[in-house]
Amino acid sequence: MVDTFDIAIVGGGGAGLTAALYAARGMRSTIVFEGNVTGGQIATTDLVENYPGFPEGINGFDLGQNILRQAEKFGARVEYALVDSLTRLNTGSFELVADGNMYRARSVIVTAGADYNKLGVPGEAEFVGKGVSYCATCDAAFFGGQDVIVVGGGDAALDEALFTTRYVKSVTIVHRRDTLRASGILQDRAKANPAISFLLDTTVERIEGDGGVERVVLKNVRTGELSERKTAAVFIFIGQTPNSHLLKGMVELDAGGHAMVDLSMKTCVPGLFVAGDLRTQAARQLISAAGDGATAAISAEHYLQALG
């Protein structure tokens, strides 16, 4: 016996949980699949300062769990399982396989978001959990009083570098270009922080150590010169890749791999919606992801009503 839901949501971040809240509150049987931590990218953000309604800011994990509780209160079911496949059946409904279990849904909202990019250099995979980290909020406290590097020049890199200075002696921000991409306010804060210094036009070539990170080999991209630098940790924030593998062959993707949708989050497949960071031209903010989730849930509702 396969469980059939009105609305299945793939991904339990800001977009997915908000879609679930709307869908469940609209009395639709709703299931959310999340393969990792509910809350998505904000789950590892120490302080969310730009979500309206929280003038003092709010811890990202707490905010995510609040939205989760709100969705569950209206009856949304959450399965901690990774969706391996999504198929549209001849009947027009969808079949999902998650951790080997099969589910059916009359409509699907994919909010699978994006995953952090890896540097792809020797030592990176080897030292994950031993000094290589993609979450300063989680791991910075283990490097108290030590020197660390943060790789990247966007908002995430600067935000996490600023957080890390609470624990470490110094943070060196290594960025491959000669200018930072981060917003002005974060740049100002980082430049004003005496514990933060910058190494621009520089890439990480290798991460080395014995049992844990001890040093990196850096390359100046202008001169090609290599240098070695001692560091206890390498925090990596170099952008993201959309999780669009489930959609390949079903939905048109843009050049960056994001799903093409219209303003109501509809894809070209009837009953299939995409919302949040995975959709084309997303603002990649929690508030816009949440807004997308609400829009997608309303569109799914209209779709189900039309089916009768």
Partner 1 sequence: MSDVREVTDATWEADVLKSELPVLVDFWAPWCGPCRMVGPIVEELSQEYKEKVTFFKMNTDENANVPTQHGIRSIPSLLIFKGGELKGTVVGFRPKSDIKKRLEEALA
Buried b (16+ CB within 10 A) or exposed e, 31-54: bbbbbebbbbbbbbbbebeebeee
Which residues belong to the active site?
A: 135, 138-139
Residues 179-238 that bind partner 1 (CB under 8 A): 211-212, 233
Query: Binding mask 239-278 vs partner 1 (x if CB under 8 A, - otherwise)?
Result: ----------------------------------------
Q: Which two tokens stand for residue 241?
A: 């890749």
* Count, residues near partner 1 per rule CB under 8 A: 30
Report the residue number, 142 or 270, with the smaller CB distance to partner 1: 142
| Minimum CB–partner distance for residue 82 and partner 1 (Å) | 8
Phi/psi for 24 (5° steps) reads -70, -40
What are the residues whose beta carbons fall under 8 Å from the beta carbon of 275, sequence distance 6 or more?
A: 15, 16, 19, 109, 110, 111, 261, 265, 289, 292, 293, 295, 296
| Minimum CB–partner distance for residue 124 and partner 1 (Å) | 14
| Minimum CB–partner distance for residue 58 and partner 1 (Å) | 12
Q: Which two tokens stand for residue 119?
A: 């540097």
Any contact of residue 38 with partner 1 (CB under 8 A)? yes
47, 81, 221, 260: residue in contact with partner 1 (rule CB under 8 A): 81
Residues 123-182 that bind partner 1 (CB under 8 A): 128-131, 133, 137-139, 141-143
Report the residue number, 103 or 143, with the smaller CB distance to partner 1: 143
Q: Which helix (H) or strand (E) holds 73?
A: helix 60-73
Any contact of residue 94 with partner 1 (CB under 8 A)? no
Phi/psi for 12 (5° steps) reads -110, 45
Report CA dihedral (258, 4, 42, 175) to the nearest 10 degrees: -30
Any contact of residue 43 with partner 1 (CB under 8 A)? yes
Residue 207 CA to residue 220 CA, distance in Å, equals 16
Any contact of residue 110 with partner 1 (CB under 8 A)? no
Residue numbers of the site for partner 1 (CB under 8 A)?
Answer: 35-39, 43-44, 59-62, 64, 80-82, 99, 128-131, 133, 137-139, 141-143, 211-212, 233
